[in-house]
Chains A and B, each alone.
Chain A
Amino acid sequence: DSGVTQTPKHLITATGQRVTLRCSPRSGDLSVYWYQQSLDQGLQFLIQYYNGEERAKGNILERFSAQQFPDLHSELNLSSLELGDSALYFCASSPLQGTGELFFGEGSRLTVL
C-alpha cells in the first residue's frame, strides 16, 4: 500500500460525458502527479501540482483539467469523453518538488463506451 488513494477504481461511461477522478496523496506529500496509461501509449505524464500550484504539464488534452485543493487532494476532470480516453489513470505523490521518488496509487480504470 503506497498510501495514495484513488477513487473510483473503475468507471464506465459513455462518449461525450464528463467524469472526475479523485486522488488523495500520502499524508504530508505536497506534490501530486497524474499519468495516463493506455494499451498503445504506455504511461504518459499529464500534469503535476505542488502545494496547489501547477508545476509541469505533459501531454494533457484541452478537454482534461486538474486542480489541487488546499487539503492537497487533487481531481482530474475529463470532459467530452471519447473512446480513446479509455485508460488507466494513475495519481502519484511525493513530498518534494524535485524528487523522482514517486508513490503511485492503484489507478482509476476508465472505460468509455
Chain B
Amino acid sequence: DAKTTQPPSMDCAEGRAANLPCNHSTISGNEYVYWYRQIHSQGPQYIIHGLKNNETNEMASLIITEDRKSSTLILPHATLRDTAVYYCIVRTTGANSKLTFGKGITLSVRP
C-alpha cells in the first residue's frame, strides 16, 4: 500500500472548517483513501473513504485531487469534540489488504 504524509499537527477555531491535508503521491489506481480518527486513546473511528470522486457523509467531506496524489478531509464546522488524531490511509480492496496506520495529524480545536 502507498505511503501517506501528513503534517504532525494543526489547529482551528471552533465553528470553523477544519481542512486536513494528506499527500499520497505514490498511490496506484486500485487504492482507496481512507480517513479514521482517534480521540484520546479510544478506538479509532472510521470517517470516510474514496477512490477518485469527492465524497461527503454526515461527518465530513473528502476532496481528492484529480491526479489522486493528495486529498483533504474537511470537517465543515469543527467542535471541541473533534479534537483527535486523524489518520489518512491508502489501501487496496484485496481480501487480505491491511489497514496500516501512520502517525496521523493531531487536530486541536480551540474555543
Show the binding face of A for B, using Cβ within 8 Å. Answer: 2, 4, 33, 35, 42-45, 48, 50, 55-56, 58, 88, 90, 92, 97-107
The answer to whether A98 touches B101, judged by C-beta atoms less than 8 angstroms apart, is: no
Q: A100-B49, A106-B43 are in contact. Are A45 and B96 (CB under 8 A)?
A: no
22 A-B pairs in the complex with CB atoms less than 8 angstroms apart: A2-B43, A33-B99, A35-B101, A42-B101, A42-B103, A43-B87, A45-B99, A48-B98, A50-B95, A55-B96, A56-B96, A56-B97, A88-B41, A90-B44, A92-B44, A97-B95, A97-B96, A100-B97, A102-B44, A102-B46, A102-B99, A104-B43
With a cutoff of 8 Å between Cβ atoms, the chain A residues found around residue B96 in the complex are 48, 55-56, 97
Complex contact B101–A100 (CB within 8 A): no
**Majority DSSP secondary structure for residues of B touching A:** loop
A42 to B6, CA, bound (A): 15
Contact partner of A100 among B41, B43, B45, B93, CB < 8 A?
B93
Q: Please name the residue on chain B nearest to A45 by beta carbon.
A: B98
**In the complex, what distance in Å separates the CA atom of A101 from the CA atom of B89?**
11
Assembled-state Cα–Cα distance A53/B22 (Å): 34
Residues in B55-111 with C-beta less than 8 Å from chain A: 87, 89, 91, 93-103
List B contacts of A45 (CB < 8 A): 98-101
A100 near B89: Cβ-Cβ < 8 Å = yes
Given A92-B43, A107-B43, A100:B94 Cβ within 8 A: no
> What distance in Å separates the Cβ of A10 from its nearest Cβ neighbour in chain B?
12
Bound complex: CA of A50 vs CA of B98, how far in Å? 13
- B102 A42 Cβ-Cβ under 8 A: yes
**A103 contact from B42, B46, B103, Cβ within 8 A:** B46
Is B49 a contact of A105 with CB atoms below 8 Å? no
* Structural contact, B41 and A107, CB atoms closer than 8 A: yes
Using known A-B contacts A2-B43, A42-B103, determine if residue A100 contacts B32 with beta carbons closer than 8 Å: yes
Give 6 nearest A-B pairs by CB, closest first.
Answer: A104-B43, A43-B101, A97-B95, A56-B96, A98-B93, A100-B91
